[in-house]
Structures are given as structure tokens and as C-alpha cells.
């Protein structure tokens, strides 16, 4: 009797697992049936995703998401998130995919799937011209601001062990902290440096040294083969026809590097 009960429980567990896998694998169909795709985007990131003078979402990630939804034949539903909430929002099923300057890293790849790279992001350290900073060693004993749960955070934490790291929840808050003098050094992106320079030209902020350049991927939950295949084919198609490069160049003023465009092959 006990053996029969155990066998029944095992069968039930296998059936539930198969059902769960099937449900995830059918997400592409679910998106098409719903007529919309929920895309998590980290608003407040200059050049990638921000609000224009009319409070309309714009930026390279926003246009990328708009093109993706159009080609899929569904409405775009932007789910505005902070940088730290990008992966958790996807895991909680509050978004179908993430297009939010999300760098492809081994740590993230353990919990979410990524498309082939669609863009890049450069990570830099910036500060006033008067400060002599050329490497991580020069950050010892200094306060440096950055955005929590980003590759900036990971890189700086690992390489500037003598620095006092001040973490902010999003890029917009980091920018404000620099502009208002709460911190004088930051780890972020050239686009955020440009915004700081525009808002506080008297501070004479400049790029001190480059930390690293990362490929960006469209993130989606694991065990979604149909959705992943569609997204990968979409990225490759739009790299090949030049549309993703046009979007990136429009906002960032440069072409995508060969490391990304070769993904169209």
C-alpha cells in the first residue's frame, strides 16, 4: 500500500513538473494571445531609457522594445523598474522579458536566460578634473557612488577594496547625488557622465578611467525555448538589417562594435 502511494505521488510530481515546463514553453503563445508583451525597462537611464520633455519614454532600449513588440505583432506594455529590480521582476512573472541595459554575466545567466547580444554598455569611473584618479588604487580611502545591483557595483566592489562605496537604487538618484555634491566620484556609464556634465558644468566632471565594456542581452526566464528562439532570431535579423545599429547610433553617437554585429551571422 505504501509503495503504491509513493508511486502515485511520484507520478503526480512528474506530471506537475511537465505541466509547469509546458506552461513556460508556451509563453510565446500566451503573449500572442494576450496581444501584448510586458517588457521591464529601467527608466531614468540616460540614452538607454528615460522620459523626454513630454514625459514620453525614449532611449535606445525603449526603441528596441518598441521595434520588438511591433515585429511580434503585439502591443508594448512597459514595466518600469529600478536596476536592482530587473531580474526579480522577471522571476516574479511581472514581465515577460527585460530590455534594460542588462549586462550578460555568468552570475545572472545562472538564474535567467539571455538572448544573443543586441547592444553594449561601457563602465567608467568619473570625477572632477582636479582629482588625480587613474586606477582603482587611487580610490583608496575615497567615497564613490554607484547604482546598486549593477556590473558597476560588482566591478568596483571587487577592485576598489579600499574605497567607501555609496550605493543608490537607480541611475537617476546617482546622477542627482553627483550633481548636488553628495559624492564626488562615481562608477557608471559615459551616458550618465554626459547627463552630469550637462546638469552641473561647473563641476568639470570627466572620465578618469574605463573599467570594462559589457555586451547587453534581452533577458527572459529559463525553460522558455519558443520565446528564446523567437527573440534570438529577432535580434540576429535586426542586427543584420542594421535596424538595431541605427537605434544604438541614434542615441549613443557610435556604431555597435563588431563583437555585437557578428551575432547576426
Q: Kindly list the structural domains of the chain, giving each domain's residue range(s) and its CATH number in brackets, ordered by start.
A: 27-121+215-263 (3.40.190.10), 122-212 (3.40.190.10)
Q: Is 149 left (phi over 0), alpha (psi -120 to 50) or beta?
A: left
How many CA within 13 A on the CB side of residue 97? 28
CA distance 34 to 22: 18
CA distance 228 to 68: 13
Per-residue pLDDT for 96 more than 50?
yes
Q: b or e along 219-247 (b: 16 or more beta carbons within 10 Å of the residue's beta carbon)?
A: bbbeebeebbebbbebbbebbeeeebbeb
239, 154 Cβ separation under 8 angstroms: no
Per-residue pLDDT for 9 more than 50?
no
Average pLDDT, the chain: 91
pLDDT per position as a tens digit, 202-227: 999 999 999 999 999 999 999 999 99
User: pTM of this prediction?
Assistant: 0.85
CA distance 201 to 129: 11
pLDDT per position as a tens digit, 42-70: 999 999 999 999 999 999 999 999 999 99
**Strand-by-strand arrangement of the 75-80 sheet:** 75-80, 36-41, 97-98, 219-220, 113-114
Which regions of the chain does DSSP assign to beta strands (E)?
Answer: 36-41, 50-51, 57-58, 75-80, 97-98, 113-114, 119-128, 143-147, 164-168, 186-188, 205-216, 219-220
Amino acid at each position: 500500500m505504501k509503495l503504491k502511494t509513493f508511486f502515485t505521488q511520484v507520478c503526480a510530481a512528474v506530471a506537475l513538473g511537465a505541466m509547469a515546463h509546458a506552461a513556460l514553453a508556451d509563453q510565446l503563445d500566451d503573449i500572442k494571445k494576450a496581444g501584448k508583451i510586458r517588457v521591464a525597462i529601467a527608466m531614468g537611464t540616460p540614452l538607454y531609457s528615460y522620459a523626454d520633455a513630454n514625459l514620453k519614454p525614449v532611449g535606445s532600449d525603449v526603441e528596441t522594445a518598441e521595434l520588438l513588440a511591433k515585429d511580434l505583432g503585439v502591443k508594448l506594455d512597459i514595466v518600469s523598474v529600478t536596476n536592482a529590480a530587473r531580474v526579480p521582476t522577471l522571476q516574479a512573472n511581472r514581465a515577460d522579458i527585460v530590455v534594460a541595459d542588462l549586462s550578460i554575466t555568468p552570475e545572472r545567466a545562472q538564474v535567467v536566460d539571455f538572448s544573443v547580444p543586441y547592444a553594449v554598455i561601457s563602465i567608467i569611473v568619473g570625477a572632477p578634473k582636479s582629482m588625480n584618479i587613474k586606477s582603482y588604487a587611487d580610490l583608496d580611502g575615497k567615497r564613490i557612488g554607484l547604482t546598486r545591483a549593477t556590473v558597476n557595483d560588482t566591478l568596483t566592489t571587487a577592485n576598489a577594496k579600499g574605497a567607501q562605496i555609496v550605493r543608490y537604487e537607480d541611475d537617476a538618484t546617482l546622477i542627482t547625488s553627483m550633481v548636488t555634491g553628495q559624492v564626488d566620484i562615481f562608477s557608471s556609464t559615459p551616458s550618465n557622465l554626459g547627463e552630469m556634465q550637462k546638469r552641473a558644468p561647473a563641476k568639470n566632471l570627466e572620465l578618469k578611467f574605463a573599467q570594462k565594456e559589457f555586451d547587453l542581452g534581452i533577458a527572459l526566464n529559463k525553460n522558455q525555448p519558443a520565446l528564446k528562439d523567437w527573440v534570438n532570431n529577432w535580434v540576429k535579423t535586426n542586427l543584420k538589417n542594421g535596424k538595431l545599429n541605427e537605434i544604438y547610433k541614434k542615441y549613443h553617437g557610435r556604431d555597435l562594435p563588431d563583437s555585437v554585429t557578428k551575432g547576426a551571422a
